[in-house]
Homo-oligomer: A and B are copies of this chain.
Amino acid sequence: MSESNSVLIGRKPAMNYVLACITLFHSGAKQVNIKARGKSISHAIDVVEIVRRKFLPDAKIAAISIGTDQLSPQDGETNNLTNVSTIEIVLER
């Protein structure tokens, strides 16, 4: 799956990401990869549920995986690595 079929979920309104997913499917993608980290994870689930329930009822969840990313310390912070949870949901049509 090419990286261009990924939608990275951030803090914008859910509809922005829903539209991004629908646009990818309409441009011929068979799979769309929805990724999020930290607090955006709940938002990613919202996006997937809106896409499936309101717009593309034929879209299926092909896979859900979770994991942990280690963030390097930011300038001025202590040297501790911060762990952040991640999720990746593959929608298939």
A66's partner among B61, B83, B85 (CB-CB below 8 A) is B61
Q: How far is the CA of A65 from the CA of B89 in the complex (A)?
A: 10
A38-93 with Cβ < 8 A to chain B: 38-42, 45-46, 48-49, 53, 61, 64-68, 83, 85-87, 89
**Size bracket of the A interface:** 20 to 34
Shortest Cβ-Cβ A-B pairs, 7 listed? A41-B42, A45-B85, A64-B64, A49-B68, A46-B85, A45-B66, A39-B42
Residues of A within 8 A of B (CB): 38-42, 45-46, 48-49, 53, 61, 64-68, 83, 85-87, 89
5 A-B pairs besides A38-B42, A49-B85, A53-B68 with CB distance below 8 A are A42-B85, A45-B85, A49-B66, A49-B68, A64-B65
